[in-house]
Amino acid sequence: MTIKICPLCAEGHLSQSSYTCNVEYRGVKKDLTFSMHLCNICGGDMACNGDLNHNKTEVVSFRKEVDESLKKPLRGMSPHVLYFDDSSYIEDIKND
């Protein structure tokens, strides 16, 4: 196991931690879990490369999920909803 030394105080050891953040994209909100590291001496919190990659993946996949859901037609809607019977309209014209 690799021990990461805190770059802020140069004494403490960093341990993996996470926090939840409510993110909004195109009107859709969701709680995403982001990762970070905490120092046991100074209490500093920071993101290592692995944390940044994880956090970016969380945001990108959430945005893809929202984009895909907005592409789908509304539930219950079908192309037939827009069809209407125009035979009575045609008869009205003939009577004139």
In degrees, to the nearest 5, what angle opens at C-alpha 40 toward C-alphas 21 and 51? 40
Determine, following the binding rule CB under 5 A, whether residue 38 of this chain makes contact with Zn ion. Answer: no
Q: How many residues bind Zn ion (CB under 5 A)?
A: 8
Amino acid symbol at 27: G
Between residues 17 and 57, which has the closer beta carbon with respect to Zn ion?
17
Q: Measured from the CB atom, is 45 or 58 closer to Zn ion? A: 45
Residues that bind Zn ion (CB under 5 A): 6, 8-9, 12, 39, 41-42, 44
